[in-house]
Amino acid sequence: MSDTVAMSKADCRALFDQTLIEATSVEALALDDLKRALSDVGFATVRGIASPDEIARSRTAFRDGFTSDDHPGVGETAKDIQGNFQKLRAGISPLAPTNSRLVRTIFNPLWADDIFGLHDVFMRMIAMRNLLVGKPLTYASTSIEDGLWTAARLQHYPTGGGFMSAHVDQVVVDAVASAGMEHVQLLLMFTRKGEDYERGGGFTVKDGQFIDVEQFCELGDIVVYDSRILHGVDTVDPHKRLDIDTPDGRTVAFVTLYKDMA
């Protein structure tokens, strides 16, 4: 990342405002505006589909029930992650050897127990995703379709060192390409920069510029991005001691389509 230049806060703010889309429901979403932002910039933020209050309630459930009794970062079976399953990975992914990370993943598919009270929000995110890729709103949500399933999950980047190096989502790109779909990812802000963590967080790289629009996101905002753009997670609160035994740090939610390998 040494060849990139950080976009100024003022320019980041302008870009965030330019790509912010407000909607009270999936049905009310300005789909053309969203697609235009994805085409022109590579990402956009949707506000209003999930409310800050309901995300705060789920965040409380996550914190109250938190455990650091993680499975190893690799070695799980395909069937394991199709249930409520938690793992902590540090290092390089065998599926993406150029992508290093320190991140805890908590899988919570819609056919598993709704341990965080997030399934209704996941369904809205899935409907948004499916609308963008031209599928029925409930496609691959509670069942496996076309060999694909929704890996609804939380990703927790611990305070004091959680990160993910810059990458493209090649595994995701390959999975959806096999089904003839667009390369779209949705990420919901389960925590808020400036409140739950001070430094770091999600970024994209475009035209040699390091872009941090996450600093303007609110709890419950849904960031939509093209899986092919270069993106990652800058180290979360590197000025603090690493703490993998609490839920402190940055947490986001995903509804990614995975290939069914079980």
3-state secondary structure 115-150: CCCCHHHHHHHHHHHHHHHCCCCCCCCCCCECCEEE
Among residues 155, 188, 159, 162, which one has the least CA distance to residue 248?
Answer: 159
- DSSP structure class, residue 10: H
**pTM of whole model > 0.85?**
yes
Among residues 19, 224, 20, which one has the least CA distance to residue 124?
Answer: 224
Q: What angle do CA 98, 245, 104 make, to 5 degrees?
A: 30
pLDDT at 2: 59
174 pLDDT exceeds 80?
no
Query: Could you tell me the fold of the domain covering 5-66+78-90+100-259?
Result: Jelly Rolls (2.60.120)
Residues 87-133 pLDDT 10s = 999 998 766 667 899 999 999 999 999 999 999 999 999 999 999 99
Residues 54-92 pLDDT 10s = 999 999 999 999 999 999 999 999 999 999 999 999 998
pLDDT at 95: 65
Q: 116-120, long-range: CB within 8 Å, 24+ apart, which pairs? A: 116/58, 116/61, 116/62, 116/65, 116/154, 117/57, 117/58, 117/61, 118/58, 118/152, 118/154, 118/253, 119/152, 120/54
- Band (pLDDT 50/70/90 cuts) for residue 10 is very high
User: CA-to-CA distance for 219 and 193, rounded, in angstroms?
Assistant: 9
| Average pLDDT of the residues in 138-155 | 96
Residues 20-39 pLDDT 10s = 999 999 999 999 999 999 99
* Contact (CB, 8 A) for 130 and 137: yes
